[in-house]
Amino acid sequence: MAFNEIAKAIQWSNKTTSGDGEIYPVEAYFVLHAGSTSTEPVNYIRRDAVWYAHGTVQAVATPTPHLEGTLGTVYTASIQSRDPALSSGLSVRVQIFPDGQLSVQKLLHGTPIGGMPPTQLQTTDVRDNLMVAINGIEVWTLGVALLPHYPKPPQ
């Protein structure tokens, strides 16, 4: 499992510190789909819970080179909300490693929800384009995109 897309994204983001005065952004896209289960028919609609988040991540050198950031745009859908809606105050902190390791922590107003530590997952590389992990009844996916570089703002 190569995870070449992640390695290329780390190289792209590292160009930001190359001294050419440009920023080389990387956008991450995250989906968590938690399936609802039922062994008996129910007389109400049972919806799966879904989180969709995106935001900018940056290359970090330690403990090993990886991408890291807080995805600040989060949409959620669940039994309480029929359609996905922008969720105020929610964010998702991610660490993305080129060996397929993925660390995900859900935040509310910048604080871990319920004080929970990050979820550590070993993902599978899907066609060198998408990281996928299954955790119980949940499917976790993450992809990245290299965005066009642009000049750093004056300081």
CA separation for the pair 93, 139 (Å, rounded):
17
List the domain boundaries for the chain.
4-151
Prediction pTM value: 0.88
Antiparallel, parallel or unpaired: β 26-34 and 138-146 = antiparallel
Query: Cα 21–142–136 angle (5° rounding)?
Result: 155
In tens, the pLDDT along 46-102 reads: 667 888 999 999 999 999 999 999 999 988 876 565 667 677 889 999 999 999 999
For the chain, what is the radius of gyration of the CA atoms? 17
Residues in Cβ contact with 46 at an 8 Å cutoff, skipping those fewer than 6 apart = 36, 38, 79
**Per-residue confidence (pLDDT) for residue 101, from 0 to 100:** 96
In tens, the pLDDT along 102-113 reads: 999 999 999 999
